[in-house]
Structure 1
Amino acid sequence: MSEDNLYNPNNIRSWAEEDRPREKLLLKGKAALSNAELIAILIGSGTVKLSAVDVAKGIMNTVHNNISELARQGIKDLMKNKGIGEAKAITIIAALELGRRRTDHIPDQRRIINTSQAVYDEMRQHLQDKAHEEFWIVMLNRANEVMKSVAVSIGGISGTVCDPKMVFKHALENMASAIILVHNHPSGQLKASEQDINLTKQLKKCGMILDLPVVDHIIFTDKGFLSFVDEEIF
């Protein structure tokens, strides 16, 4: 390696030891690193003109330094950044997904659902950071414990179509005593559409006939939720 390259200010190895992301983590701990420095460790190297930290800062600038917004990025989105190829984009996405799973991990034991907040917490592991709409049901036993959560419909950015037959097929097969409807709004809008309300009423009527009550419908967003029961929509 030439002397010029060794002392190039864009070369992380030429920085003071406490300013290099890996060494900084060892010396000061993980909490001392910025988001860009943590991403720099993931990508490992930069370009001829940019250090790994510079590349990482560029990535964070495109999402306004918002990790949640970064988690919504796809491989092609990340590859629009200078210094990011497919392999590095995959590494970033994999790391963010591991972080999400760790944050949203719920122990393998029956969770009791007794509030709308509990439903929201239960569904974060399934719907957080989703860029498209999905319709799920949470199946409960007689003790209001979660038996299983299942996606019954996956749609696009602006909507998804739910088939009532699929909803009750899953519920009956799993011998559920009650179900909760959940679908997400990637836009973040916490408002029930006329279609949402009509579908909920239809499913509620079907549940009454089958002695399988629909106890709530939750609209999920990354920043909050709307409960049909809390809002007295049905």
Structure 2
Amino acid sequence: MTLSSIMIKDVPKEDRPRERLVKLGADHLSNQELIAILLGSGSKNESVMELSNRLLIHFEGLKLLKDATIEELTAIRGIGNAKGVLVLAALELGKRLNTFRPNERYVIRSPEDGADFVMEEMRSLKQEHFVVLFLNTKNQIIHRQTIFIGSLNASIVHPREVYREAVKRSAASIICAHNHPSGDPSPSQEDIHVTRRLVESGKMIGIELLDHLVIGDRKFISLKEKGYL
């Protein structure tokens, strides 16, 4: 008999998810146990561990759960609005913690620093987003802005829009980043063409394009390192 096939009240107290978290720490619990804690209870005929397991199977583990909606959650038998809201709140808190930045300004010293700043937010986007980081003379980020959403091409990503904001912010330099929803950060010819246009425009007005980062799924490519700047 497994833990998921019996009721929690029948499990020895020291083996229950909440007690295990207190004793061992959250990092020692499985995804199933953590979700069981969020759900709180099962039903008359199903333990919370069984319900948690069904939820994970439905969303193929955490892969699809991170983008779940309240409608998708409550469509699962045993999960009503109250349980669904708790799960969504936990997911959103996790996303915010991943993108949290302390109050002091973030300094860019390498392509990795720039990628780390935008990775968690951009890697799972379903559309291409073109983001610009505006830096001061100390390479500290003073502003971040999404300039375009949609397929990257030279007719849409116009240097005028990018550098207008840079001038407005009195930026000394900029770093551009855009994501590939496929997860593969290999740059396209259009990516390279847009980058070169931005470099030339930046030289004309004295605001340097330090890098253009292509963001994939937990990986990135620096067009500067590839020699395109």
Answer yes or no: same fold by TM over 0.5: yes
- The one of 17, 20, 31 equivalent to 1:21 is 17
Judging changes above 3 Å, is the alpha-carbon distance between structure 1 residues 189 and 82 closer, same or farther for their aligned structure 2 residues?
farther
3-state SS of 1:179 partner:
strand
Is the 1:129–1:222 contact (alpha carbons within 8 Å) kept by the matching residues of 2? yes
Q: Distance in 2 between matches of 1:162 and 1:87?
A: 43
Is the 2:119–2:218 contact (alpha carbons within 8 Å) kept by the matching residues of 1? no
Cα RMSD over matched residues?
2.5
Structure 1 counterpart of 2:132:
137
Structure 2 counterpart of 1:53:
49
Is the 1:75–1:93 contact (alpha carbons within 8 Å) kept by the matching residues of 2? yes
Q: Which runs of 4+ in 1 moved over 6 A?
A: none
Judging changes above 3 Å, is the alpha-carbon distance between structure 1 residues 233 and 89 closer, same or farther for their aligned structure 2 residues?
farther
Cα offset for 1:190? 1.6
- The one of 158, 167, 176 equivalent to 1:181 is 176
- The one of 97, 107, 111 equivalent to 2:106 is 111
Identity %: 32
Q: Is the deviation greater in 70-79 or in 34-43?
A: 70-79
Is the 1:18–1:24 contact (alpha carbons within 8 Å) kept by the matching residues of 2? yes
3-state SS of 1:204 partner:
helix
Is the 1:45–1:51 contact (alpha carbons within 8 Å) kept by the matching residues of 2? yes
Q: Write out per-residue CA displacement over residues 107-153 of structure 1, whole angstroms, 9 at most, x where no aligned residue.
A: 22122212110101111353243333211101111121211111112
TM-score by length of 1: 0.82
Is the 1:12–1:20 contact (alpha carbons within 8 Å) kept by the matching residues of 2? yes
Judging changes above 3 Å, is the alpha-carbon distance between structure 1 residues 46 and 128 closer, same or farther for their aligned structure 2 residues?
farther
Is the 2:122–2:179 contact (alpha carbons within 8 Å) kept by the matching residues of 1? yes
Is the 1:21–1:40 contact (alpha carbons within 8 Å) kept by the matching residues of 2? yes
Q: Distance in 2 between matches of 1:74 and 1:192?
A: 32
In structure 2, what residue type is equivalent to 1:226? Answer: I
Judging changes above 3 Å, is the alpha-carbon distance between structure 1 residues 224 and 28 closer, same or farther for their aligned structure 2 residues?
same
Structure 2 counterpart of 1:172:
167
Judging changes above 3 Å, is the alpha-carbon distance between structure 1 residues 186 and 22 closer, same or farther for their aligned structure 2 residues?
same
In structure 2, what residue type is equivalent to 1:216? Answer: D
Is the 1:218–1:228 contact (alpha carbons within 8 Å) kept by the matching residues of 2? yes
In structure 2, what residue type is equivalent to 1:227? Answer: S
Q: Can you give the 5+ residue segments of structure 1 that lack an aligned partner in the other structure?
A: 1-8
Structure 2 counterpart of 1:6:
none
Q: Distance in 2 between matches of 1:120 and 1:183?
A: 10
In structure 1, what residue type is equivalent to 2:21? Answer: L
In structure 1, what residue type is equivalent to 2:136? Answer: N
Q: Is the deviation greater in 107-116 or in 136-145?
A: 107-116
Mapping 1:1-234, distance limit 5 Å:
11-65=7-61, 67=62, 69-155=64-150, 159=151, 161-234=156-229
Cα offset for 1:228? 0.5
Cα offset for 1:69? 4.5
Is the 2:186–2:221 contact (alpha carbons within 8 Å) kept by the matching residues of 1? yes
Q: Can you give the 5+ residue segments of structure 2 that lack an aligned partner in the other structure?
A: none
* Aligned pairs, number: 222
Judging changes above 3 Å, is the alpha-carbon distance between structure 1 residues 29 and 145 closer, same or farther for their aligned structure 2 residues?
closer
Q: Distance in 1 between matches of 2:72 and 2:194?
A: 35
3-state SS of 1:139 partner:
strand
Q: Write out per-residue CA displacement over residues 76-134 of structure 1, whole angstroms, 9 at most, x where no aligned residue.
A: 44445333344433322321232233244332212221211010111135324333321
3-state SS of 1:131 partner:
coil
Judging changes above 3 Å, is the alpha-carbon distance between structure 1 residues 28 and 211 closer, same or farther for their aligned structure 2 residues?
closer
Is the 1:71–1:129 contact (alpha carbons within 8 Å) kept by the matching residues of 2? no
